[in-house]
Amino acid sequence: MKLALALLATLASLSAAAQSYRERLPQDEVIYFVLPDRFANGDPSNDRGGLTGDRGTTGFDPTDARYYHGGDLKGLTSKLPYLQKLGITAIWVAPIFVNKPVQGGSGQQSAGYHGYWITDFTHVDPHFGTDADFAALVAAAHAKGMKVYMDIVVNHTADVIQYRECGACAYRGRADYPYQRRGGVNGAPINPGFAGDDVGTVANFAKLTDPSYAYTPFVPEGEKAIKHPAWLNDPIYYHNRGDSTFAGESSLMGDFVGLDDLMTEHPRVLEGMIDIYGSWIDRFGIDGFRIDTARHVNPEFWAAFVPPMLERAHAKGIPNFHIFGEVADPAAQAAHTITAKLPSVLDFAFRQALLDSVAGTRGTDVFEKLFDGDVLYAQGTDTSAILPTFSGNHDNGRFAWFVRKAFPQASEAEVLQRVLLSNALLLTLRGVPTIYAGDEQGFAGGSNDVDAREDQFGSKVAQYNARKLVGSDATTATSRFDETNPIFREIATLARLRTATPALTRGRQLLRAREDKPGLLAFSRFDPATGAEVLLAFNTSTEPLTRQVQVEVKSVNFRSLAGSCAPRASAPGSLTITLPPLGYAVCAAETQQ
């Protein structure tokens, strides 16, 4: 009887968790971004992805930063309790699709451990496990009330298509190499009647039959059927114009460092990608998509792609499916929520403000300029509220590296304080805070992608193990899941504070103080139901400060949620704030009606 009651209680608890996580809005989450290969190795038998041979075939070499190291989905699943203790509520998983194990010319080879060189969009890469392993991860996360976001790629596939004319081919634009001529304006007529790629009808693209307008593309004999679904093997569905310069027309139509650039204007490509990613929603019940290289795809594609994804999610009983695109240009990110109709984008502008102020010497007024721009998003502050914010990532480097670069004479204690302050800003201001795996263990990484992708399960890469961690005397040579690390403890505390305080997840944000030099930054956030005020105060300088900060007149008594807060307003509408160097405080008002 007792066993039955215990089982019923467990099932009730799981049911409550499942119900509550579905109800949460995107801004209610604390996201953890992880590359499975670098996180935890739950099954060493899949380290080589079922392949045999040396690293040039299997892609596996745990001593080289550019190859597979053995982390997998079983390992990630085993660490869900660790992530729960960190206060994480949603896991963003780097692409897990089948990748080309190794690509690159002689001396330039590296492996697809990161997941962005896809050949099969329909299954899990054997290096990470199986489809069943992914289903088990999603089910285990959901049972704990945690969401799972997939990192997806539409812009390109692995580098399979080659050109007869050259290896690394320069971009050839539409004016000099139009679709209706072979190899330039003076070439032989081809594709008669094709009206251009901006006429997105099936009838028009049926007239595009010859892909040799800029270069002569071909697929090597041994790779003619390497991609799945099978339609992806036909060069007609790619731009075939050579390498992007990441500017102008080539930004949308050029190969991303040689990767095969899909012609996303083509109706067949749109239809195919809707089928592919809709299937992942149908099969696994995931909770959202992060879209890689979103700005390198024509905006019309996203406007047509997003609605079917939301419809599939709703049909699956997922009402708050979160879609956010990578637009790695702070000046362009708001525009993509309008032109491309992306529901949300990664907030690179927020990261830049953190770098400028906490890992730099600019004034706190950078945040005023940042948040003044929130009105530019498609739905204004409603959109800005669901932008995933972050301090560093797998492409652009870790925040601690930038601190050490900007302040080479700083003590380790100061470096730690700056990292802690950045997390306080990240976890209390508007947006959806996103922690990059390893940051909570003081990983200091580097300024680029490879250097910022350290192993968390004990590394054999010399360049990783030689780096000093922040807040710890350990190195990445040993497994780094230390729950006593001061950064881990701070994130865990602030994450729980955030998720327990509606003002910090869904509340309106109001600037209270900023300076044109390092120093005070203050915001009020308001409970969306009660209007109760929570004051956030930060000191980006290395000197202590005491200042008066404006608050609501009805905010009289205060209690400290983090840091130290004066217990009572100095006068109606004013609170004394005292902060240590690089310190912060979170003060909750008890209002007088």
Please write the tens of the pLDDT for every residue from 493-547.
999 999 999 999 999 999 999 999 999 999 999 999 999 999 999 999 999 999 9
- Under the banding of pLDDT at 50, 70 and 90, the label for residue 108 is confident
pLDDT at 6 over 80: no
Quick one: tokens of 389? 């914010």
Mean pLDDT of 178-195: 98
What the block records as the tokens of 457 is 């399960």
Query: Residue 424: in which H helix or E strand, if any?
Result: helix 412-428
Tens-place pLDDT, residues 264-306: 999 999 999 999 999 999 999 999 999 999 999 999 999 999 9
Residue 9 in this model has a pLDDT that exceeds 50: no
Residue with tokens 């907030």: 347
Q: Is the pLDDT of residue 488 over 70?
A: yes
Instruction: Answer yes or no: is pLDDT of 4 > 70.
Output: no
Identify the pLDDT of residue 167.
86
Torsion of CA 342, 347, 348, 352, to 10 degrees: 150
The share of the chain scoring above pLDDT 90, in percent, equals 94
Write out pLDDT tens, residues 369-380: 999 999 999 999
pLDDT of residue 447: 78
* Marked catalytic residue, from 265, 326, 347, 454: 326
Which residue in 476, 483, 394 sits closest to 435, CA to CA?
A: 394
Cβ neighbours of residue 207 under 8 Å, at least 6 residues apart? 191, 192, 193, 194, 195
pLDDT tens profile 197-237: 999 999 999 999 999 999 999 999 999 999 999 999 999 99
What pLDDT score does 17 carry?
54
User: CA-CA distance, 148 to 378, in Å (whole number)?
Assistant: 25
| CA nearest to 244, candidates 155, 327, 149, 361 | 155
> What pLDDT does 458 receive?
95
Query: In terms of CATH architecture, what is 21-155+267-498?
Result: Alpha-Beta Barrel (3.20)
Residue 448 pLDDT: 83
Domain boundaries, the chain: 21-155+267-498, 161-250, 506-589
Q: Assess whether pLDDT exceeds 60 at residue 117.
A: yes
Q: Which CATH superfamily is domain 506-589 in?
A: Golgi alpha-mannosidase II (2.60.40.1180)
Judging by DSSP bridges, how do beta strands 31-34 and 584-591 pair with one another? unpaired
Predicted local distance difference test score (pLDDT) of residue 19 = 52
pLDDT in tens, 307-339: 999 999 999 999 999 999 999 999 999 999 999
**Secondary structure of residue 136 in the 3-state scheme:** helix
Cα angle 198, 203, 204 (rounded to 5 degrees) comes to 30
Both tokens assigned to 308: 């079917």
Tokens 């502050």 belong to: 381
Average pLDDT estimate for 30-46: 98
Residue 440 known to be catalytic: no
- Split at pLDDT 50, 70, 90, the class of 593 is low
What's the mean pLDDT in 429-452? 94
Contact residues for 153 (Cβ-Cβ < 8 A; gap 6+): 95, 97, 116, 118, 291, 292, 293
The answer to whether 326 is a known catalytic residue is: yes
Catalytic residue among 261, 292, 347, 482: 292
* 3-state per-residue secondary structure call for 521-585: EEEEEECCCCCCEEEEEEECCCCCEEEEEECCCCEEEEEEEECCCCCECCECCEEEEEECCCCEE
- pLDDT confidence of 8, banded at 50, 70, 90? very low
Q: What is the mean pLDDT of the chain?
A: 95
Segment among 24-33, 327-336, 371-380, 584-593 with least mean pLDDT = 584-593
**DSSP H or E run through 465:** helix 462-465
Q: Can you tell me the mean pLDDT for 21-46?
A: 98
DSSP string across 335-356: HHHHHS--S-B-BHHHHHHHHH
Question: In Å, what is the CA distance from 184 to each residue of 45, 56, 167, 189, 195?
Answer: 51, 38, 19, 10, 17
At 1 the pLDDT is 36
